[in-house]
Amino acid sequence: MTDERRRIGILELNPALEHIRVPASDRCWWCGDAASTEEHRIKASTLRRVARLDDGTATPGNVFKKSSDYEGTLRSLGKGTQIRWRKNLCGRCNSSKSQPFDRAYDDFEAFIVGHIHDMSTWKRLDWQMVYGPEWREKARNLARYFGKQLGCMLATQQLQVPDELIEFLNGADRCPSTCFMLYINPRGVDAHEQMRSDGSEDGLSSFVGLLESTAYQTEGVFSGVDYGYHIGYLWFIAQWRAGVDVASWFEYQVIDLPRVSNE
């Protein structure tokens, strides 16, 4: 059996994937209740950090976005298809159930921003440096944050959300078919250093976004997907492959930080 790659348009449905799509639904992909909310593609607090002016206020006009269907400053930090997935979660799943995931992300983002000037030289990351003695559960919740994002992307694309991913969000210790990984992008590191030499105090820490995603099919059946997100030069990758059993970053206190190029 061979896998055939198909690019998923992050902001629009790709006709090449029509044969592996599921019918559009008005239900929450996580729990099955009525879908009433839209999840931010990039966390609202992250957008506010990027949009913050010197006086402490945040304005969408201070955020420039470039994607396959949009290029320009944002019109809003709180609503619109340019910053939110489609309505595919209920209010409870998008708030109280996933709050621990959001907090784990917030803590790690603060850690990255605080170490952005030296983290590029690290070969490894010790989760205890980030989360302290509760690193196991908090590193796992960080993965669940991106698992939720992956689910929202799949539901937006009308692709089936894997049952194992939902079980992981519901408290399972592992999601065997999804590998959560961290990478450092050397080209991003070069850009960060260039920005610093040009006088930017923040460097690349204010550059956040989604990486291009790829869907996979095996003999006409949806069998895998790649999701990627970055803060500066640090890449967060979630790869789902049907039927595999892979390890993820939360299963080890100390993890490698491999270098990977855009290709």
Residue 226, beta-bridge partner list:
214, 239
**Domain-embedded: residue 103:** yes
**Domain-embedded: residue 196:** yes
Is 80 exceeded by the pLDDT of residue 20? yes
Gap between the Cα atoms of 239 and 261, Å rounded = 17
- Tens of pLDDT, residue by residue over 27-52, are 999 999 999 999 999 999 999 999 98
**Domain-embedded: residue 94:** yes
Mean pLDDT of 79-86: 88
**Domain-embedded: residue 79:** no
Is 50 exceeded by the pLDDT of residue 1? no
* Whole-prediction pTM: 0.93
Domain residue limits at 167? 3-39+85-256
Q: How many Cα atoms are found within 13 Å in the side-chain-facing hemisphere of 125?
A: 25
Domain count, the chain: 1
- Nearest 10 degrees: Cα torsion 108, 106, 59, 185: 20
Q: Determine the pLDDT at residue 3.
A: 47
- Tens of pLDDT, residue by residue over 223-237, are 999 999 999 999 999
**Domain-embedded: residue 49:** no
Q: Determine the pLDDT at residue 81.
A: 83
Q: How confident is the model at residue 262 (pLDDT cuts 50, 70, 90)?
A: low
Q: Determine the pLDDT at residue 80.
A: 84
Residue with the two structure tokens 């210790």: 173
**Domain-embedded: residue 108:** yes
**Domain-embedded: residue 248:** yes
Residue type, 117: H
As a residue count, the chain comes to 263
Gap between the Cα atoms of 7 and 15, Å rounded = 10
- Tens of pLDDT, residue by residue over 117-155, are 999 999 999 999 999 999 999 999 999 999 999 999 999
- Tens of pLDDT, residue by residue over 163-211, are 999 999 999 999 999 999 999 999 999 999 999 999 998 999 999 999 9
Classify residue 27 by burial, with Cβ atoms within 10 Å: 0-12, 13-18, 19+: middle
**Domain-embedded: residue 216:** yes
